[in-house]
Amino acid sequence: MTTVSSFAPRTRRNVELVLLLLAVGIVVLAYVNVGLSVSGAFPPGLVTHTAGLLVISLAFHLLLRWKAAYADPLLLPIVTLLNGLGLVMIHRLDIANGRDVGSGLALKQLTWSALAVAIAAVVLWFLRDHRMLRRYTFTAAVVGFGLLILPLVPGIGRTVNGSRIWIGLGPFTFQPGEVAKIVLAVFFAGYLVQTRDALSLAGRKVLGFTFPRGRDLGPIIVAWVLSLMVLVFEKDLGSSLLLFGLFVSMLYVATERTSWIAIGMTLFCGGAYLAYLVFGHVQQRVHLWLDPFAPGQSDQVAKGLMGMAAGGLLGTGLGRGRPDLTYFAESDFIIPSFGEELGLIGLFALLVLYVLLVERGLRTALGVRDGFGKLLAAGLAFSVALQCFVVVGGVTRVIPLTGLTMPFLSYGGSSLLANWSLVALLLRISDVARRPVEEVQAGPTPSGEAKTEVVAIR
Amino acid sequence: MNAPIRRLSTVVALLFTALLLSSTYISFVQAKSLQDRPENRRTLLANYARERGQILVGGKPIAKSTATKDELKWLRTYPQGDLYSHITGYYSFTYGAGGGVEGAENALLAGSSDKLFYRRVSDILTGKEQTGASLELTINAKAQAAADKALGNQRGAVVALDPTTGEILALVSHPAYDPSVLSSHDTDKVVAAWKQLNAASTQPMVDRAIAGNLYPPGSTFKIVTAAAALESGKFTEESQIPGPAVLDLPQTTADLPNDFQGNCGPNNKTSLTHALEISCNTAFGWLGMQVGADAFRAQAAKFGMGDRLSVPMTVTPSSVPAELNMPQLAQSAIGQYDVRVTPLQIAMISAAIANNGIVMRPHLVKKVTSSDLEVIDETQPEQLSQAVSADTAAALTRMMEAVVKSGTGRAAQISGIDVAGKTGTAQHAAGSAPHAWFTGFAPSSDPKVAVAVVVEDGGNAGNEAAGGRVAAPIAKAVMEAVLGK
């Protein structure tokens, strides 16, 4: 039912254009809203800002028409809207904190956005078929692990807010973990496509579950140790959870064996419990999660909760709340900032946007014909879902608070670069997935393996 | 690989469902309680954005908001800060609202109370600027000033009640403080003042009248023992009971002596009235044991002991120990051992006797009014319990009149007016002077005011103190102020 060839192929680029204009319209409306409620006047430079936003998004849209005509039409409007709303909130917090436009965070975020879009365009331009990435499976492994441990290298690693997940080169700081997520997804996809037969077929049956052979446990153990190392040495609970969750989910998709999830969950829970017993910073996080109002500890979660409570159902309106009272209101706690000013309804709208984004990614995974593409698309889409869960769950007390940023919304250049590139990959895969079969075969590098995969799916 | 991808999308749905539920819980279900948290700066800021209601005594504000030009648009001021500190409490940007009506009726004063819902809606529709509700208190300004002046620099508390309505006429706790220093917009000064007030050994921020460390009631509690005895039907005010110089307590080598040397009457016998008049420990110790622990405790409970009251500030419940053996019962019957009371509780006992045995709910807020003086809510007198029968109340009144007329409480006499009362001298710690107590009401024929006074460690009289010498004159001053003498 999801095979593209079963109905007449349509590019849907016009749908994308309409949605894109709608997204830009919403962002501009929000921007005007902030200006009107804060100073009672239209923001200065409204026309140039609107024009700039339009030029960037339309340029990307034209690139898609030219280079990836069959790409999913929802992805670009969704991330444009999220990125734009994030910019508006950061601009709004600039005003509240007395930072003027020239030196504010919003301008930096805008610069990073433009750069991120440019890099995404470059990815789309040069990566004509995602299967090209499979050649670099083990290069990706080296680069991915390298990026992960980079913050630990003395001299360039930086500790910010207790987590050693930053690197600094001169005036620039960068969070390599965000990029590592994508590179490792490429590695996992390439590696699992090769080894899935061994990982999925061999094994013993115990209590209805087929458990893998001892020697096949190697990769999951390696991923587990790696994520624990991130937790212990970089003190980054969020990246650790994200990394391991990504691997286990991709392993499951590759092997279709539930036992891998059971093993993964057991390993993660065991590791997390051990970390809780041994490390003070993990204990702090857990206590903060269980009782955010207990005296004598950080009140950052409490502040966020009070912000959301102040917003209630409908929110105070953009520019009318006090999200600046929350710590990290423009990065880790941007969700409570939106909850305060747009209310529960606005928060739901944002979450639904993320659900749509993830769902389009998973749909791409279903539609694409080759195993590598399926794994990569599913992994990337699920990593976005998992990251949203870790961030929003952290500030709404579903799980302990961790230090991750909300994709596209939060302030932060590395996060924007990584996530726009991630979307570029998804766009490319979806283009291949939705392209009519004749065109695919006539297109670049039709590998023999792709054909056998088509058979394997049926 | 499509089947696991579909299942993965179910997992995604579950993850996001959890997020939708958790954010709904916070922004909708928990929102009210989160906003009411005292440390919530957003609520405080929102409160400062509109004019807070006044607190009024006799039509004059004792707490009001004045417009300022700084970020917090309103400054809270207390025109007679020290005099009313334990009634108003404080309203501080840094420390929130607390310590009195400011804290207890914060929602009304801030204008966020549910009681004001319809008014808020109409204000929004008519475009009127929203303000908090004002509170008119039951306090009698003259009685409050008299109590404050009479207590002077001594540590202690004074409570005066209208026995027939339960209105609180005076509520004084010393040492006091000036809440204006906490409502200042100069954060550094506020923090320094707060630290100093909380660190002070005299605990000026503790409202001794209704909260704080409870006091042993001493001999004032003999009224309760007498009430229990009369209610039992086995005794009258004329009954002759043993009154030796020292009462031999069962089950222990300890004895119970009188505070004065000697016995309470010829042949070690005394009438109930005479025993109360001279505050005879041995007679009341014996009487307590005759009444029994259960009846004694039940009588105390009928006077309101153990009740959780809010006036609207929360009152610490007074207590009689749950388990009493015979010697402990004898000690408790004269207000020692582990009996602990608030001055308000003692005033309620006098008020009940003055009001034919009926305890009225004590309250401090008479009326809630809008900024345009429209009455939103008015407190109606409410009966809490019937502590004793009208006959017992009349007998107790006669006995307490004798105390003031010719007994230990002569210092409370007011010329031309019959006063009923009882003194107390409560031992509380080895090496410390006893607390001086007086409670009573006047005029005894048609009571208008009931009072309780406690002066810690005997006040300026120290070890020489007895309730009659230190506390009774203070009570007299308050009663005179109420009666317009």
Interface contact flag, B22 A312, Cβ < 8 Å: no
Neighbouring C-beta atoms of residue A159, cutoff 10 Å: 12
Q: How many domains does chain A have?
A: 1
Residue pair B256/B247 in contact by the 8 Å Cβ criterion: yes
Q: Could you tell me which of A75, A73, A70 has the C-alpha nearest to residue A5?
A: A70
Instruction: Check if B22 contacts A (Cβ < 8 Å).
Output: yes
Domain range holding A200?
130-433
The three-class DSSP label of residue B96 is strand
Residue A255 confidence (pLDDT): 87
* Statement: residue B78 has pLDDT above 90: yes
CA distance B317 to chain A (A): 27
ipTM confidence score: 0.90
Residue A451 confidence (pLDDT): 44
CA distance A385 to chain B (A): 6
| Residue A147 in domain | yes
Partners of A204 in beta bridges = A211
Which letter does DSSP use for residue B46 in this model?
Answer: H
For residue B109 the two structure tokens come to 């004063």
Interface contact flag, A253 B40, Cβ < 8 Å: no
Interface contact flag, A254 B2, Cβ < 8 Å: no
Residue pair B339/B319 in contact by the 8 Å Cβ criterion: yes
Residue A453 confidence (pLDDT): 42
pLDDT digits (tens, 9 = 90+) for B331-347: 899 888 889 999 999 99
Instruction: Check if B49 contacts A (Cβ < 8 Å).
Output: no
Which letter does DSSP use for residue B234 in this model?
Answer: S
* Statement: residue B11 has pLDDT above 70: yes
Chain B, nearest residue to A299 by Cα:
B39
pLDDT in tens, chain A (458 residues): 454 445 556 888 999 999 999 999 999 999 999 999 888 888 887 888 889 889 999 999 999 999 999 999 999 999 999 999 999 999 999 988 888 877 888 888 999 999 999 999 999 999 989 999 999 988 998 998 888 888 888 877 777 766 777 777 766 778 888 899 999 999 999 989 888 877 777 777 776 666 677 777 777 788 788 887 877 777 777 888 888 899 899 999 998 888 888 888 898 889 888 888 988 888 888 888 998 888 777 888 899 999 999 998 999 889 888 888 888 888 889 999 999 999 999 999 999 999 999 999 999 999 999 999 999 999 999 999 999 999 999 999 999 888 788 999 999 889 999 999 999 999 999 999 988 876 655 555 444 444 444 433 33
CA distance B30 to chain A (A): 7
Highest mean pLDDT among A46-60, B10-24, B65-79, B212-226: B10-24
Q: Which chain A residues are within 8 Å of B16, Cβ to Cβ?
A: 351, 354-355, 385, 388-389
For residue B203 the two structure tokens come to 């605990």
Strands B60-67 and B168-174: unpaired
pLDDT digits (tens, 9 = 90+) for B375-400: 888 899 999 999 999 999 999 999 99
Q: Omega into B175 within 30° of 0, i.e. cis? A: yes
CATH topology of domain B218-364+382-483: Beta-lactamase (3.40.710)
* Sequence letter at residue A326: T
Chain B, nearest residue to A2 by Cα:
B2
Task: Specify the DSSP element, H or E, that contains B384.
Answer: strand B383-386
**Average pLDDT of span B188-213:** 89
Considering only CB atoms, A309 lies closest to which of B3, B30, B45, namely B30
Q: What pTM, to 2 d.p., does this model score?
A: 0.67
Q: Which chain A residues are within 8 Å of B96, Cβ to Cβ?
A: none
Q: Which of A396, A397, A409, A453 to mutate to test the interface with B (most CBs of B within 10 A)?
A: A396
Confidence at B85, pLDDT banded by 50, 70, 90:
very high
Interface contact flag, B1 A375, Cβ < 8 Å: yes
d(CA A21, CA A6): 30
Interface contact flag, B45 A322, Cβ < 8 Å: yes
Q: Which of B6, B7, B23, B35 to mutate to test the interface with A (most CBs of A within 10 A)?
A: B23
pLDDT digits (tens, 9 = 90+) for B113-165: 777 777 777 776 776 667 888 999 999 999 999 999 999 999 999 999 999 99
**Residue where the block lists tokens 């031999």:** B248
Task: Specify the DSSP element, H or E, that contains B21.
Answer: helix B2-24
Interface contact flag, A253 B20, Cβ < 8 Å: no
Residue pair B335/B424 in contact by the 8 Å Cβ criterion: yes
* Sequence letter at residue A277: L
Chain A, nearest residue to B40 by Cα:
A306
Considering only CB atoms, A308 lies closest to which of B3, B16, B27, namely B27
* Statement: residue B226 has pLDDT above 80: yes
Considering only CB atoms, A397 lies closest to which of B15, B22, B27, namely B22
Interface contact flag, A310 B39, Cβ < 8 Å: no
Q: Which chain B residues are within 8 Å of A347, Cβ to Cβ?
A: 23, 27
Interface contact flag, B22 A366, Cβ < 8 Å: no
CA distance B12 to chain A (A): 6
Instruction: Check if B41 contacts A (Cβ < 8 Å).
Output: yes
Main-chain phi, psi angles of A16, to 5 degrees: -60, -40
CA distance B49 to chain A (A): 13
Residue A21 confidence (pLDDT): 96
For residue B385 the two structure tokens come to 């319990």
Q: On the CB side of B276, how many CA atoms lie within 13 Å of its CA?
A: 30
Q: Which chain A residues are within 8 Å of B25, Cβ to Cβ?
A: 396
Main-chain phi, psi angles of B453, to 5 degrees: -130, 135
Q: Which chain A residues are within 8 Å of B22, Cβ to Cβ?
A: 392-393, 396-398
Q: Which positions ≥6 away from A311 have C-beta within 8 Å?
A: A321, A339, A340, A341, A342, A343, A344, B27
Interface contact flag, B23 A339, Cβ < 8 Å: yes
Residue B475 confidence (pLDDT): 93
| Residue A85 in domain | no
Interface contact flag, A354 B1, Cβ < 8 Å: no
Interface contact flag, B30 A347, Cβ < 8 Å: no
Considering only CB atoms, B40 lies closest to which of A256, A306, A347, namely A306
CA distance B29 to chain A (A): 9
| Residue A74 in domain | no
Q: Which chain B residues are within 8 Å of A351, Cβ to Cβ?
A: 16, 19-20, 23
CA distance A1 to chain B (A): 11
Instruction: Check if B10 contacts A (Cβ < 8 Å).
Output: no
* Statement: residue B299 has pLDDT above 80: yes
Instruction: Check if B195 contacts A (Cβ < 8 Å).
Output: no
Strands B55-57 and B134-137: parallel
CA distance A310 to chain B (A): 7
Confidence at B474, pLDDT banded by 50, 70, 90:
very high
Interface contact flag, B27 A252, Cβ < 8 Å: no
Instruction: Check if B14 contacts A (Cβ < 8 Å).
Output: no
The three-class DSSP label of residue B376 is strand
Interface contact flag, B22 A249, Cβ < 8 Å: no
SS (H, E, C) chain A: CCCHHHCCCCCCHHHHHHHHHHHHHHHHHHHHHHHHHHHCCCCCCHHHHHHHHHHHHHHHHHHHHHHCCCCCCCHHHHHHHHHHHHHHHHHHHHHHCCCCHHHCHHHHHHHHHHHHHHHHHHHHHHCCCHHHHHHHHHHHHHHHHHHHHHHHCCCCEEEECCEEEEEEECCEEECHHHHHHHHHHHHHHHHHHHHHHHHHHCCEEECCEEECCHHHHHHHHHHHHHHHHHHHHCCCHHHHHHHHHHHHHHHHHHHCCHHHHHHHHHHHHHHHHHHHHHCHHHHHHHHHHHCCCCCCCCCHHHHHHHHHHHHCCCCCCCCCCCHHHCCCCCCCCHHHHHHHHHHHHHHHHHHHHHHHHHHHHHHHHHHCCCHHHHHHHHHHHHHHHHHHHHHHHHHCCCCCCCCCCCCCCCCCHHHHHHHHHHHHHHHHHHHHHHCCHHHHHHCCCCCHHHHHHHHHHC
Residue B186 confidence (pLDDT): 86
Q: Which chain B residues are within 8 Å of A386, Cβ to Cβ?
A: 15
Residue A209 confidence (pLDDT): 66
Interface contact flag, B15 A386, Cβ < 8 Å: yes
| Residue A78 in domain | no
From the candidates B112, B183, B184, B219, give the one annotated as an active-site residue: B219
Interface contact flag, B16 A355, Cβ < 8 Å: yes
Interface contact flag, B8 A393, Cβ < 8 Å: no
Domain extents in chain B = 218-364+382-483
B444 catalytic? Reply is no
Q: Which of A2, A291, A305 to mutate to test the interface with B (most CBs of B within 10 A)?
A: A305
CA distance A388 to chain B (A): 8
Q: Which of B7, B11, B12 to mutate to test the interface with A (most CBs of A within 10 A)?
A: B12
Considering only CB atoms, B28 lies closest to which of A313, A375, A392, namely A313
Q: Omega into B443 within 30° of 0, i.e. cis? A: yes
